[in-house]
Structure 1
Amino acid sequence: MKNSIIENKKIVIIGGGPVGLTTARILQINGVDVTVYEREINAQARTSGGTLDIHSDSGQYAIQKAGLMEEFRKYARPTGEKMADIDGNITSDEMPDESNAFSRPEIDRNDLRKIMLDNLEENTVVWDSQLINNEKTEDQYFLEFKNGKTTAADFVIVANGGRSNARKFVSDQEPKLSGTYIIQGEIKNPDLDYPEFKPKYGNGNVMAMGEQKMFYTHTMRDGSVHFGVSFKADENWILNNEIDFENDQSVISFLNETFKNWGDDYQKFFKASTEFSGLPLRLFSLEESWKEHSNITLVGDAAHLMPPFAGEGVNMGLFDAYHLTKNLTDGKFETIDEAIADYEKKMFGYALEAQRMTKKMEDLLHSDVVTEDILNSRF
């Protein structure tokens, strides 16, 4: 380290997702004592969700700073984008060329996590550790976990997502509904369960929109297909339309009714799908300022939760990791709080812009208007 603001300091990161692990990796290679506490039971716990497109002008900065770009490129892949209409007809088909192949490559969530875990020191991550309480005692934080473990930290980085209960020293803001609901599922073996899909729609990403609804698919590295559908839903709809996600047929029936005016391809896709989940999308708006705080900060969704419609969420989180770790290790600041303040000032700028862009995309995608903005978006 070039200076001593975090020398001999015990740093705790709450949350072992991509942002928390990347932050830990960068700090660790700079000689920092850092421990990650993660609620998942172990490293084999499967992360759900589609692929992530990691942008060269934001998220990849952190991958580079972590010294793992070569490893990243082993798993990340340039991915084609197709748009379809509600009848299932392909209306556009784009594939990155040599000049922009790795400007926004896709990578499976589990692969990105594996890269980071494989390159952390042994026992950096303490698994099965769900935070239940965080209290400040003079110049330290005392953290208590559901499994009975406790620890003290000189500096806490909160990276455990939009449902974090560790934000209270930084912001009292509760997540707000964005106005959209998403249902996700997957086809584990599309070649067997829906053999017509890949010959027509390929191995890249597919998106269709209409009737104020959206359908999208991501092809995973193992050939399985993750999908999501989203539609406008206010608080009253959420309260009055409980869906039984333990019953696949119940979800399929709901989707068939919701997309009854769409083509047979979508009905076939739903029929072949399993492992459904659903949630109302929420956000922490950076339009609201944070309260005064010391030796603690937020990164990723814990700082600026936003819907996925502009592909910015994880990229902004990785950008947080880049800026925060740079401030902590480059010798420019005299204290941790000065480094935090500068990071948060930068973060409020770029992440608020991303939130505003995401809101614009959310409205466009759930309208009946196809624009150039949509054609150029990534999911």
Structure 2
Amino acid sequence: MLLQDKEVAIIGAGPVGLTMAKLLQQQGVAVTVYERDINAQARIWGGPLDLHKGTGQDALKRAGLLQHYYDMAICMGRTITDKQVNLLFRRIPTPEEEYDNPEINRNDLRILLLESLAANTVVWDRKLSGLTALDAKWILHFEGKPDVVADFVIGANGGMSSVRKYVTDAEVEYTGSFIIQGEVPDPEINCPEFYQLCGGNILMTTANGITFTANPNNNGALMYGISFRKPESWFIENRPDFQDVGSIATLLSDMLADWHSVYKEPFRSTSLFVGLPTRKIALNHWKTNRTLPITLIGDAAHLIPPFAGEGVNTGLQDALILSDNLTNGKFDSVAAAISNYEQQMFVYAGEAQLQTSINEIAMHEPEFSFQKRFSE
């Protein structure tokens, strides 16, 4: 086996990094995951994830975790309204659709993956500061922590990955949209009208180039996102303070001034806001003269905005293909296994980026209709 007697270091304990660790570990590979979070209880911010058949679900199936995912996930319907709360479309999932992209809380998915790994696979409180090549090994440097040594490094630490510069010169680019996310605890109490409008489904509304989506069932909280197109200078000039909950609530209320008041109800009860300029990274400029084994998976490799739900699924596809290449006995070297994975990834991740870009532009056009999209 290519990785016999080799130590693999995965940077990042997100769903992609942990799945990669599981897939390698079940083939007898020595793997350690280094994560900057303090411990396994650190809360992961963000809305639920839906894993797709053919990509994310296939990776979990290979890992022997697909049924566990089904047991923990929720199949959500869709409620589509206009800005005056008129119901345009509602779809309740049928029993046959129970396993089509059900939604799972990010923290629940992390726990599921962690519990599948050998004890002490993840080393917490390790923020990577750099890598050094020495004597055919990688020396991993961490802020305030001892160095460690590995034979092979896999960067799975997200869109702003510190590993990326060792693999590619590509720069992260702003795609032209901005998302403001908010969370409301106990929504049935804190925003009852809006919660009722959702009807237990994912709510989707769009008007005048603004999209509003909400999931009322994220481990007892309602998670919502409002996206809109703005030049990057807008963020620099306005500098919204997302720690000031009141000012962001006012900003959103003003933005939705001509929308029905029920859409503004969640703003007053939001416990935390996060602002996200949407970004991507070009799939070129990857270095071909890497002397030691190193590569990227997930957002570290191909940052994709959330407008097609492809980010985590493409990352899990990375983990499935790369782990298979490294353990199936079909390649003569680790370098060849990595190269084959990367050439495949450039194709399917490029297609995911393209579809996401098409969706991003279309969803923020004034005439865009969720109703038409879901009824087609």
- TM range, smaller chain: over 0.9
Match of 1:368 among 352, 357, 366: 366
Q: Which residue of 1 aligns with 2:153?
A: 156
TM superposition shift of 1:65: 0.9
Partners of 1:275 and 1:221 in 2: how far apart?
A: 14
TM superposition shift of 1:370: 2.8
Match of 2:86 among 80, 84, 89: 89
Partners of 1:359 and 1:304 in 2: how far apart?
A: 13
Could you tell me the TM-score, scaled by structure 2's length? 0.96
8 Å Cα contact 1:50/1:220 also seen in 2: no
Q: Which residue of 1 aligns with 2:184?
A: 187
Q: Which residue of 1 aligns with 2:353?
A: 355
8 Å Cα contact 1:285/1:355 also seen in 2: no
Instruction: Read off the aligned partner of 1:41 and give its amino acid letter.
Output: I
Q: Which residue of 2 aligns with 1:45?
A: 42
Partners of 1:162 and 1:320 in 2: how far apart?
A: 15
Provide the secondary structure at the position in 2 that maps to 1:265: helix
Partners of 1:102 and 1:123 in 2: how far apart?
A: 32
Match of 1:305 among 282, 290, 303: 303
TM superposition shift of 1:198: 2.9
User: Does the C-alpha gap of structure 1 residues 267 and 99 become closer, same or farther in structure 2, counting only changes over 3 Å?
Assistant: same
8 Å Cα contact 1:327/1:340 also seen in 2: yes
**Which residues of structure 2 form unaligned runs of 5+?**
none
Instruction: Read off the aligned partner of 1:290 and give its amino acid letter.
Output: W
Identity %: 42
Moved over 3 A (4+): 371-374
Q: Which residue of 1 aligns with 2:340?
A: 342
Greater shift, 58-67 or 133-142, is seen at 133-142
Partners of 2:227 and 2:252 in 1: how far apart?
A: 11
Partners of 2:145 and 2:306 in 1: how far apart?
A: 35
Q: Which residue of 2 aligns with 1:261?
A: 258
Task: Say if 2:132 is the partner of 1:140.
Answer: no
Count of matched residue positions in the alignment of Structure 1 and Structure 2: 373
Q: Which residue of 1 aligns with 2:293?
A: 295
Greater shift, 295-304 or 168-177, is seen at 168-177
Task: Say if 2:109 is the partner of 1:117.
Answer: no
Partners of 1:374 and 1:308 in 2: how far apart?
A: 20
TM superposition shift of 1:318: 0.6
Q: Which residue of 2 aligns with 1:327?
A: 325
TM superposition shift of 1:373: 9.2
Deviation per CA, 1:69-88, whole angstroms, max 9, x where unpaired? 12111111211011111112
Match of 2:219 among 207, 222, 228: 222
Instruction: Read off the aligned partner of 2:112 and give its amino acid letter.
Output: I
Greater shift, 337-346 or 98-107, is seen at 98-107
8 Å Cα contact 2:170/2:285 also seen in 1: no
1:18-57 equivalences in 2 (<5 Å)? 18-57=15-54
**Which residues of structure 1 form unaligned runs of 5+?**
none
Task: Say if 2:175 is the partner of 1:178.
Answer: yes
Partners of 1:232 and 1:374 in 2: how far apart?
A: 21
Q: Which residue of 2 aligns with 1:108?
A: 105
Partners of 1:289 and 1:353 in 2: how far apart?
A: 18
Provide the secondary structure at the position in 2 that maps to 1:220: strand
TM superposition shift of 1:367: 0.7
Provide the secondary structure at the position in 2 that maps to 1:185: strand
8 Å Cα contact 1:81/1:204 also seen in 2: yes
RMSD: 1.5
